[in-house]
Amino acid sequence: MKLSASALPGYVKRPEPDRAGVLFYGADPMRVALRRQALLKALVGENGEEEMRLTRLAGSDLRCDGAAVGDAMRAQSFFPGPRAVFVDGANDQGAPALIAALEDWQAGDATLVVTAGPLKKSSKLRKAFEEHANAYAAGIYNDPPGREEIEAALTSAGLTAVPPDAMGDLTALARALDPGDFAQFVEKLGLYKHGDTSPLTPGDITAVAPATTEAELDSLLHAVAEGQAQAIGPLMARLSGQGEGAVRLCIAATMHFRRLYTGAIDPGGPGSGLARARPPVFGPARDRMIRQAQGWGAPRLEQALSILTETDMTLRSAQKAPQMAVMERALIRLAMLGGRGRT
């Protein structure tokens, strides 16, 4: 049977021990592995492998030893509890052994958990699980995790007090990070909050979230957007000393002002627009950028983007003026433009 994307999180969290088998397949090995890992943990528990209730087999070995799957599914452990046989990296070449194991499955046998790469509709392996009355086939696609999945990950990490503002930041971060990186982030966040029973805050998330840009570059962009022209020179000098180039600074400034513009023109307000920004904006930086977008307004942000486009073309042309000087002059123009809106 096919397991729909909407039903998948619930099944992984509460698997049915009387199912003959489950097939996870998809193009992203990390996403497939995370689903399989969560299912096996829910199915056999934390100590399943230590108690010999979990058997691991490689899909590439099935052609040489097709009976290994059936033998492992029927083998009994010295310890009581559900059992599972995990076959990693299966394909259609090993399908006959897996199909035979499914057909021979009886109540009391171990559950067969199989992972595979992308499988076409015509795949023998995929069709076998989809057409079996007591087995599931689940395609794992590159969709961002839903709220239920995020909440399950937080609960597993011991994080239960998550207010709406923190959940909004986590949702934005989950859309931007790879599944493995987000899983590591949640684990790290759980360690960061260990022993702290207070609700999770955007500040906690910011403290643990992977850095996307250097702190001094962020400081420069915020100084420009907040009209602090006097701070631009010293910050530019430090960034130049670190090897930053004018073109990269122009690209970063353009991205910053595009995000402000997206927030300024959003019907739901800057907060709604910045929530959809990529990479995501969250925590104190989001509040700061909301104020910036409100202070600038859409018309002057359009002027700012025009200045940055002109500067980018100048930097990439054959002009002989020092590039960092050209970039610094453009940023000062922007800061003065923004500053006029605050007087």
The sign of the torsion formed by the CA atoms of 203, 205, 207, 209 equals negative
Pairing of strands 84-90, 111-116: parallel
Confidence of residue 279 (pLDDT cuts 50, 70, 90): low
CA 24, distance to chain mean position in Å, is 19
Q: What is the pLDDT of residue 211?
A: 57
Least confident of 154-168, 202-216, 247-261: 202-216
Q: What is the pLDDT of residue 343?
A: 47
Q: Specify the 3-state DSSP secondary structure of 193.
A: coil
Q: What is the pLDDT of residue 285?
A: 78
Q: Of residues 223 and 149, which shows the higher confidence score?
A: 223
Least confident of 57-61, 209-213, 308-312, 332-336: 209-213
Give the alpha-carbon dihedral of 107, 109, 110, 115, to 10 degrees.
-80
Highest mean pLDDT among 79-88, 140-149, 152-161, 265-274: 79-88
- Reported as a single tens digit per residue, the pLDDT across 65-114 is 888 999 999 998 888 889 999 999 999 999 999 999 999 999 999 999 99
Contact 225, 292 (CB under 8 A): yes
Average pLDDT, integer, range 207-220: 72
Q: DSSP string of 81-117? A: S--EEEEEEE-GGGHHHHHHHHHH--TTSPEEEEEES
Average pLDDT, integer, range 319-343: 84
Average pLDDT, integer, range 251-266: 91
Q: What is the pLDDT of residue 214?
A: 58
Confidence of residue 269 (pLDDT cuts 50, 70, 90): confident
195: left (phi over 0), alpha (psi -120 to 50) or beta: left
Q: What is the pLDDT of residue 147?
A: 82
Which distant-in-sequence residues (6+ apart) come within 8 Å of 330 by Cβ?
Answer: 250, 307, 308, 310, 311
Confidence of residue 341 (pLDDT cuts 50, 70, 90): low
Average pLDDT, integer, range 212-241: 85
- Reported as a single tens digit per residue, the pLDDT across 21-69 is 999 999 888 889 989 998 999 999 988 988 999 999 999 888 888 889 9
Domains of the chain (ranges; CATH) run: 8-139 (3.40.50.300), 147-208 (no CATH), 215-340 (1.20.272.10)
Q: What is the pLDDT of residue 63?
A: 82
Q: What is the pLDDT of residue 280?
A: 67
Q: What is the pLDDT of residue 137?
A: 95
Q: What is the pLDDT of residue 117?
A: 93
Average pLDDT, the chain: 87
Average pLDDT, integer, range 318-332: 88
Confidence of residue 213 (pLDDT cuts 50, 70, 90): very low
